[in-house]
């Protein structure tokens, strides 16, 4: 018995230096969407721990809210739509985009079964997470594309979260909602119809992106480098271990339907997610053009001023990507 206790103590002491030496990192993400599968897999596979990071992952279901949290220094990394971070920077906040997980809008407008045409949206209510979020931006893009004026022809309501949009559709408080995979596929199984595919409009847009406050960039560059490595490993693991990726998606989305999860996986992992968090300037410019509608400072701004590429550069130079995708 005494020998067993001594062995247990010895094992704890062996493990302790790693646990005590891990650097804490707070990671915020803004939606229940397959676009975050790289983060979820990195956590579930222990890839942050492999980089000596003690991660705390926090869901803040709105890009505009998460941008405020990041600016306040309450998270180290914010995974959110790039427009919200850029809007904060235009208002004087010290925040930069350091990567982008997806570089196009991946959303759809789903409606109750009684609505058969886009014209029938007139006088109806559409749910988004929050104003200024990627769901809100997508809704306004889609409506204008089909000659409907947001607010004037179609009311846009803040619902708070993707799950709340789905609940609003089911309960009848809204007529349509802007949703992303896998929520859209789950709604289809319940009889709700896709009226507009924002994805098919092929709009370049940084959503979700990775952002960090200037103070974090200056004080924790090594932590951010290790985060980028863990994230790159997470994306690769999602691509090569579909079973784990589906389990992670089920865990964080609370959706258990395997058919729905597989459809979301095939879309995001198969077609959308970057192998590394590369930033596309065209996507940044789209976001900036949209901000210019309501923010005068955006009209003379350049997309490049919102970006810090040093961590992507370090990731490239490390040789990790060549190792993973050789």
For the segment(s) 21-104+205-324, the CATH number from 3.40.605.10, 3.40.190.10, 3.40.50.10860, 3.40.50.150 is 3.40.190.10
**pLDDT tier at 61, thresholds 50, 70, 90:** confident
The residue ranges of every structural domain in the chain are 21-104+205-324, 113-200
**Of the candidates 246, 220, 182, 294, which has an alpha carbon nearest to the alpha carbon of residue 52?**
220
pLDDT of residue 133: 86
113-200 shares the fold of 21-104+205-324: yes
Mean of the per-residue pLDDT values for the chain? 92
pLDDT digits (tens, 9 = 90+) for 67-122: 999 999 999 999 999 999 999 999 999 999 999 999 999 999 999 999 999 999 99
- CATH C-level class of 113-200: alpha beta
- Strand, helix or coil for residue 267: helix
The pair phi, psi for residue 12, each rounded to 5°, is -60, -45
**Of the candidates 289, 287, 298, which has an alpha carbon nearest to the alpha carbon of residue 81?**
287
Tell me the CA distances in angstroms from 235 to 214, 238, 275, one per residue in order.
Answer: 26, 5, 6
pLDDT digits (tens, 9 = 90+) for 247-278: 999 999 999 999 999 999 999 998 899 889 99
**pLDDT tier at 64, thresholds 50, 70, 90:** confident
CA 286 – CA 290 distance, rounded (Å)? 6
Rg (the chain; Cα; Å): 21
């Amino acid at each position: 018995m005494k020998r067993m206790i001594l062995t247990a103590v010895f094992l704890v002491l062996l493990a302790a230096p790693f646990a005590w030496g891990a650097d804490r990192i707070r990671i915020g993400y803004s939606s229940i969407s397959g676009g975050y599968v790289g983060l979820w897999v990195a956590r579930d596979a222990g890839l942050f721990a492999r980089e000596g990071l003690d991660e705390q992952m926090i869901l803040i279901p709105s890009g505009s809210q998460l941008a405020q949290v990041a600016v306040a220094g309450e998270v180290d990394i914010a995974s959110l739509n790039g427009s919200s971070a850029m809007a904060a920077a235009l208002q004087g906040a010290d925040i930069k985009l350091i990567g982008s997980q997806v570089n196009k809008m991946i959303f759809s407008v789903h409606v109750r079964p009684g609505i058969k045409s886009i014209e029938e949206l007139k006088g109806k209510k559409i749910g988004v997470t929050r104003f200024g979020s990627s769901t809100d931006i997508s809704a306004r893009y889609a409506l204008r594309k089909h000659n409907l004026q947001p607010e004037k022809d179609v009311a846009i309501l803040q619902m708070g979260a993707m799950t709340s949009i789905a609940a609003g559709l089911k309960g009848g408080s809204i007529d349509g909602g802007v949703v992303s995979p896998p929520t859209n596929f789950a709604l289809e199984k319940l009889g709700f119809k896709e009226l507009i595919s924002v994805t098919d409009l092929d709009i370049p847009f940084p959503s979700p992106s990775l952002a960090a406050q200037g103070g974090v960039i200056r004080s924790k560059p090594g932590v951010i480098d290790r985060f980028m490595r863990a994230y790159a490993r997470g994306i690769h693991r999602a691509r090569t271990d579909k079973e784990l990726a589906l389990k992670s998606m089920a865990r964080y989305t609370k959706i258990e339907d395997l058919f729905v999860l597989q459809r979301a996986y095939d879309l995001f992992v198969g077609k959308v997610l970057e192998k590394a968090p590369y930033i596309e300037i065209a996507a940044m410019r789209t976001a900036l053009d949209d901000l210019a509608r309501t923010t005068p400072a955006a009209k003379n701004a350049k997309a490049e001023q919102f970006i810090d590429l040093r961590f992507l550069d370090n990731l490239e130079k490390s040789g990790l990507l060549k190792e993973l995708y050789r």
